[in-house]
């Protein structure tokens, strides 16, 4: 039986990133994809809808509420769960009954619009409490459980089958090991939260390369329930220079038996999420061993028509090369790795020893640079706008490397200098952020060291 057909299993998409929320038309397109692919849950919680987080006490105006009503109806039409989230943790006073009343009124407004499923999120907040809160509750976990239980009871009184989701303050293994939220936070939460409340978890890390069955089973002992995976594998709100269009990977299909659901919090730019969503759906619904690369290539073939150009069409092979350059947080795709290794090995040698490798590199560099340049011809302009800044940067790097290799082939003398009129100091890799990034070097073990002084 496909897991999205299993009772209670949630599979779908979280709009929960930092940055500009998606457009309404994009969300409605998402619902069509999800219905076609067998996903069942849409989670509304964009961090920068300021009435979700920054000013959570304030209700929506009638004008603001109407698009939410449309989304709820859209989910109903496609047989999807619509989950609405509130993030009060930045300034809530746990002992203040007025704050709990604000939360209930916010839920009441959403219930009136047709929402039946809710979430309360305490992620990315200071793990401290006001003195009065500490004196009454003793621990942060107890205080948060008090609020969540009250909202859960309120929700179930109105909708007995409602789902209620909770995000803890330490929501990954590293945070829990550092005792964020206080000693014994997760165990207290597991004991004190109502049995029907699902608890979010991102895995060993905020962005987890792998989530194993053993990791989840250990967590279940603390939480006294199956965790609900909030998966940040394809999230890019922490790094605006990248996006991730690789496959759903690093999770065995056996994981589905151990969790209450799998929800992905993806790239901020909706048009870049086709492959992440498509491969998640295949992961959830399929059977047998999971082959991420095969799923990736299959999804790219489906995505290829979106790359229609005003000129000659882009080939599937070119799309694979481009996608491999923006694969997953911890790895590039095979073709991007091969290009990087070819370039690195070439530059490590004396130009007099380059031979045919220089021509091979220039062919690959020219190909990738031209693919990036041709994206300006994309007919689907929203896709182009989502790609443009990243592809411009990649195009510039390939152009510079190609120029440098050409220069060194023509002038192999070690004393020869190579420059570029198109890559000048200040305008190329310029600005304060770039200067600051050059001051510390991130080592493979995760430690930082000062950069060597420039002669």
Residues 6+ apart with CB under 8 A from 242: 236, 326, 329, 390
Smallest CA-to-CA distance from 40 within 2, 69, 89, 68 is with 2
Residues 6+ apart with CB under 8 A from 287: 253
Residues 6+ apart with CB under 8 A from 435: none
Residue 121 CA to residue 111 CA, distance in Å, equals 18
CA–centroid distance for 229 within its chain = 12
| Three-class DSSP labels, 206-249 | CCCCCCCHHHHHHHHHHHCCCCEEEECCCCCCCCCCCCCCCCCC
Taking CA atoms, 113 is separated from 10, 69, 70, 117, in Å, by: 22, 5, 9, 12
CA–centroid distance for 332 within its chain = 16
Tokens (6 digits) for 345: 């090995």
Q: In the annotation, is 370 catalytic? A: no
Are the C-beta atoms of residues 4 and 39 closer than 8 Å to each other?
Answer: yes
CB neighbourhood size of 3 (10 A): 21
| SS3 label, residue 16 | coil
Catalytic residue among 99, 124, 127, 357: 124
The tokens 């945070």 sit on which residue? 175
CB neighbourhood size of 356 (10 A): 7
Instruction: Give, for 171, the enclosing helix (H) or strand (E).
Output: none
CA–centroid distance for 423 within its chain = 32
Residues 6+ apart with CB under 8 A from 7: none
Secondary structure (DSSP) of 30-75 = HHHHHHHHT--EEEE--TTSTTTTTTTTSPPPHHHHHHHHHHHHHH
Residue 92 CA to residue 346 CA, distance in Å, equals 57
| SS3 label, residue 107 | helix
Length of the chain: 455
Strand boundaries in 109-176, DSSP class E: 117-121, 164-167
Beta bridge partners of 165: 119, 198
**Residues assigned a catalytic role:** 124
């Amino acid at each position: 039986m496909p897991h999205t057909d299993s009772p209670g299993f949630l599979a779908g998409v979280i709009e929960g990133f930092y940055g500009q929320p998606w457009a309404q038309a994009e969300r409605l397109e998402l619902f069509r994809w999800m219905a076609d692919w067998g996903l069942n849950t849409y989670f509304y919680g964009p961090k920068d809808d300021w009435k979700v987080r920054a000013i959570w006490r304030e209700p929506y105006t009638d004008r603001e509420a109407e698009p939410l009503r449309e989304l709820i109806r859209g989910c109903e039409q496609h047989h999807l769960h619509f989950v609405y989230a509130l993030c009060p943790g930045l300034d809530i006073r746990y002992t203040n009954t007025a704050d709990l009343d604000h939360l209930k009124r916010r839920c009441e407004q959403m219930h009136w619009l047709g929402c039946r499923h809710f979430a309360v999120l305490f992620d990315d907040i200071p793990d401290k409490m006001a003195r009065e809160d500490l004196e009454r509750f003793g621990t942060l976990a107890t205080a948060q459980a008090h609020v969540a239980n009250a909202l859960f009871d309120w929700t179930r009184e109105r909708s007995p089958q409602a789902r209620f989701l909770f995000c803890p303050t330490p929501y990954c293994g590293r945070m829990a090991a550092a005792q964020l939220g206080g000693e014994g936070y997760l165990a207290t939460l597991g004991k004190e939260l109502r049995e029907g409340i699902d608890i979010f978890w991102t895995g060993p890390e905020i962005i987890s390369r792998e989530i194993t069955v053993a990791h989840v089973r250990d967590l279940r002992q603390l939480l006294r329930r199956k965790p609900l995976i909030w998966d940040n594998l394809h999230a890019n709100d922490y790094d605006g220079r990248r996006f991730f269009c690789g496959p759903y990977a690093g999770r065995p299909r056996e994981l589905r038996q151990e969790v209450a659901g799998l929800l992905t919090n993806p790239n901020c730019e909706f048009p870049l999420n086709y492959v992440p969503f498509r491969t998640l759906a295949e992961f959830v619904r399929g059977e047998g061993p999971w082959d991420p690369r095969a799923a990736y290539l299959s999804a790219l073939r489906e995505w290829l028509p979106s790359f229609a150009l005003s000129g000659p069409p882009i080939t599937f092979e070119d799309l694979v090369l481009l996608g491999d350059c923006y694969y997953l947080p911890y790895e590039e795709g095979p073709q991007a790795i091969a290009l990087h290794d070819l370039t690195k090995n070439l530059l490590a040698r004396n130009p007099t020893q380059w031979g045919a490798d220089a021509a091979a590199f220039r062919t690959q560099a020219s190909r990738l640079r031209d693919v990036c340049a041709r994206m300006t011809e994309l007919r689907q302009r929203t896709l182009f706008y989502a790609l443009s800044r990243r592809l411009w940067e990649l195009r510039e790097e390939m152009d510079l490397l190609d120029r440098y290799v050409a220069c060194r082939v023509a002038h192999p003398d070690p004393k020869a200098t190579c420059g570029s009129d198109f890559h000048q100091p200040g305008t190329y890799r310029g600005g304060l952020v770039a200067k600051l990034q050059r001051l510390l070097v991130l080592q493979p073990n995760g430690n930082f060291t000062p950069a060597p002084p420039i002669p």
